[in-house]
Amino acid sequence: MKKLTTLARKKLVIAALEDIKAHDIQAIDVRRITAMFDWIVVASAESARQTKSLSRHVRDRLAEFGAGIVGTEGEESGEWVLVDAGDIVAHVMQPAVREYYNLEELWGEGKFDKVVGSSQPVKTVRRRKAAAPPAARATRKTPGPRRRA
């Protein structure tokens, strides 16, 4: 079996979280901030049962593809479960706990991927047609009176 790359493991973790309907899944690239791991994946679950189920599913999917698990923390309470897969660390949290600890702000210097499975409506940004730059407008030839030779 081929060893999975870090990005493949990150995608596998996100897919496993999506399988069991985690929401607001956020992946943060922290390679420039810490040498302990490369990516943090934060996701929300609606209940302790779903939090535990999500963490087990992440562990099982990683194991299925031969990726090792360093450890798991927090399954007893189910409010915040951490799955440590070496260079990927997944945090599955209930919304109140996630809001309180605000890991996104703590790791705010990292590079954020787009949120997957957002529970918030996506803002639509309307873009206006870009006007030609002033220099381009000045060089544009406009029809004028014709000269007679």
* Tokens, residue 116: 């997957």
Which tokens hold the place of 112? 């954020």
The closest alpha carbon to 29, from 45, 13, 7, belongs to 7
Instruction: List C-alpha distances in Å: 1 to 39, 42, 66, 92, 138.
Output: 23, 28, 7, 28, 63
Does residue 123 carry a pLDDT above 50?
Answer: no
Is the pLDDT assigned to residue 127 strictly greater than 80? no
pLDDT of 89 over the 90 cut: yes
State pLDDT tens for residues 91-114.
999 999 999 999 988 888 878 877
**Which tokens in the block code for residue 94?**
């209930």
> Residue 113 has what pLDDT?
77
The Cα 15–Cα 37 span in angstroms is 20
Give CA–CA dist 13/19, Å, rounded: 10
pLDDT above 90: residue 128: no
